[in-house]
Structure 1
Amino acid sequence: MQTKNNKLAVLKEPTLAEAAVLIERAFAQRHTLLVAGNCHVHYDGRASSTLENGERFIIVKSDGSLLVHRPTGYEPVNWQPAGGVFTVEVNDDKLEIQGIRSKPHERVKVTFNEVLLVSALSLFDAGEFLLHASEDDMHRAILLKPSLFEEGFKPISWEKHVEPGFIDIYGEDKDGRLVIVEVKRRAATKEAALQLSKYIEPIKAKVNRPVRAVLAAPSLGKDVQRLLVTLGLEYKVLDPKDCALVLKKSGTSKLESFFNSQ
């Protein structure tokens, strides 16, 4: 079966010769190839390995990378990075797909004695990958880059225990005032504002200086701004995507350094 726009070609339970024709065409046109069936895999390169016969599927991508997958698990049981050159041939009632890379030299050979499915796909993907952060990730991002929250902010701790619960971030602003920060990943609700207000008095009872309480979230829900004003609380815009980028660039080393210094 082949679609009218030549984006997809599929063979179900083909002969080995029929499968080889479509596979060879996919290699020539740099299409993404999927082959499912009973196969044996041998690899030489970074190490040497043999995978005995079993029903599994392989994916050869347009960049010359190869993945061998079992029916279960998300990780490939064998793989080869991009840059491989692939060939296919049928010998002695077996279909053999071979991929070779030169730098470093490595070779993978997949031998099918039965092919259940062959699919060749012409795919295009230029979409940008957008990484989003959880609330815990947002806490970590503020610790790594306090200016995400506010210029001059100095974190002291996170998940600080007080009688009503745990304060997400606890720190000090540039004027020496203590700051209680409640972080929300989505639009902050009235419940979040009320939760934050419960932390103020226990903190004020222990310190002899001004205390600010700030709700940090990408946006506010309906009528939350009015409630914040009534309760004497503040709001700061905090975008999960900005937090995710900080984590992506910084890794975990700076975060470990932060905790080791406390």
Structure 2
Amino acid sequence: MRVVIAECRVDYSGRLDAHLPRAKRVIMVKADGSVLIHSDGGSYKPLNWMSPPARLTEVTLDEMDEEEGVEQRWEVNSTKTDDRLVIRLFEVFDELNVDLGIDPGLTKDGVEAHLQELLADQIETLGPGYRLVRREFPTAIGPVDIMARDADGASVAVEIKRVGGIDGVEQLTRYLELLNRDPLLAPVTGVFAAQTIKPQARVLAQDRGIRCLVLDYDAMRGMDDSDSRLF
């Protein structure tokens, strides 16, 4: 990772043209070839950037650059398109080069995988007498998060989301249509389980005969004792 804090002017040409006037900014050059120009605001989004694969070259200054006081001129060219990012640096305030190595990736707390694991371990959250058949039950269009059987032995497919929206209901609907073609499983009912379920998704699920279940993540992790609550 190369990070340069500099006063610069930036011109982008290609599928669209864009211009950043002269100002102090942060330029990030990543190992994957991407180049991002940030200001001191605007949250995480860069003002302009070049996506990888790209090639950065420091080119010779022309007469106009020298007259304007440009110290360095970088050209970043996409290797797949004609897009080009030209960065003119007037003054470099600081520069840092660090090898960040291989990133292990982001681990989120409470995402679907952890909810699936918790619900599989606490399958009677679905109701008394429920038993787990398996997690990631395979189908021709992808795995169902949890396949279970209710107290009467009927098959139940469970789709788990952190935030339950209409897309999740549609996904479970497709699974149910496919699973109900299997005479060894049919009839299969569905449960749409999430930490929060959007009102439109709840209406759609109920219209299709799918039960909605709100999961209390903290309680399932043993971090919230519901018996000790006042409300």
TM-score by length of 2: 0.51
1:146 and 1:155 in contact (8 A); partners too: no
Taking the aligned partners of 1:112 and 1:156, their CA distance within structure 2 comes to 54
Taking the aligned partners of 1:180 and 1:115, their CA distance within structure 2 comes to 56
1:68 and 1:79 in contact (8 A); partners too: yes
Provide the residue aligned with 2:100 in structure 1: 123
Q: CA deviation at 1:191?
A: 2.6
Q: CA deviation at 1:183?
A: 2.6
TM alignment of 1:84-95, pairs within 5 A: 84-89=54-59, 91=61, 92=66, 93-94=69-70, 95=72
- What residue identity is the alignment partner of 2:222? A
User: Residue by residue, what CA displacement relative to the aligned partner does 1:106-130 show, whole Å, maximum 9, x if unpaired?
Assistant: 1001111111111122221241433
Moved over 4 A (4+): 156-160, 178-182
Taking the aligned partners of 1:179 and 1:102, their CA distance within structure 2 comes to 48
Residue of 21, 32, 40 corresponding to 1:71: 40
Is the counterpart of residue 187 in structure 1 residue 187 in structure 2? no
User: Residue by residue, what CA displacement relative to the aligned partner does 1:43-73 show, whole Å, maximum 9, x if unpaired?
Assistant: 0122111111111111111111010001112
2:226 match: secondary structure: helix
Question: Cα gap change, 1:111/1:188 in structure 2, threshold over 3 Å: closer, same or farther?
Answer: same
Higher relative contact order (CA 8 A, sep 6+): 1
Taking the aligned partners of 2:36 and 2:115, their CA distance within structure 1 comes to 34
2:102 match: secondary structure: coil
Taking the aligned partners of 1:39 and 1:138, their CA distance within structure 2 comes to 47
Is the counterpart of residue 148 in structure 1 residue 132 in structure 2? no
Question: Cα gap change, 1:39/1:179 in structure 2, threshold over 3 Å: closer, same or farther?
Answer: closer
2:2 and 2:29 in contact (8 A); partners too: yes
Provide the residue aligned with 1:51 in structure 2: 20
Residue of 52, 56, 61 corresponding to 1:82: 52
Residue of 33, 36, 61 corresponding to 2:30: 61
Taking the aligned partners of 1:157 and 1:101, their CA distance within structure 2 comes to 44
Taking the aligned partners of 1:128 and 1:68, their CA distance within structure 2 comes to 23
Provide the residue aligned with 2:169 in structure 1: none
Unaligned runs of 5+ in 1: 1-31, 161-170, 172-177, 199-262
Question: Cα gap change, 1:76/1:128 in structure 2, threshold over 3 Å: closer, same or farther?
Answer: closer
User: Residue by residue, what CA displacement relative to the aligned partner does 1:50-103 show, whole Å, maximum 9, x if unpaired?
Assistant: 111111111111111010001112100101111111112463131111111131
Question: Cα gap change, 1:183/1:99 in structure 2, threshold over 3 Å: closer, same or farther?
Answer: same
- What residue identity is the alignment partner of 2:225? E
**RMSD after superposition:** 4.0
- Between the two proteins, the alignment pairs up a number of residues equal to 146
Identity %: 20
Unaligned runs of 5+ in 2: 120-142, 150-154, 157-189, 198-205
TM-score by length of 1: 0.45
Is the counterpart of residue 37 in structure 1 residue 6 in structure 2? yes
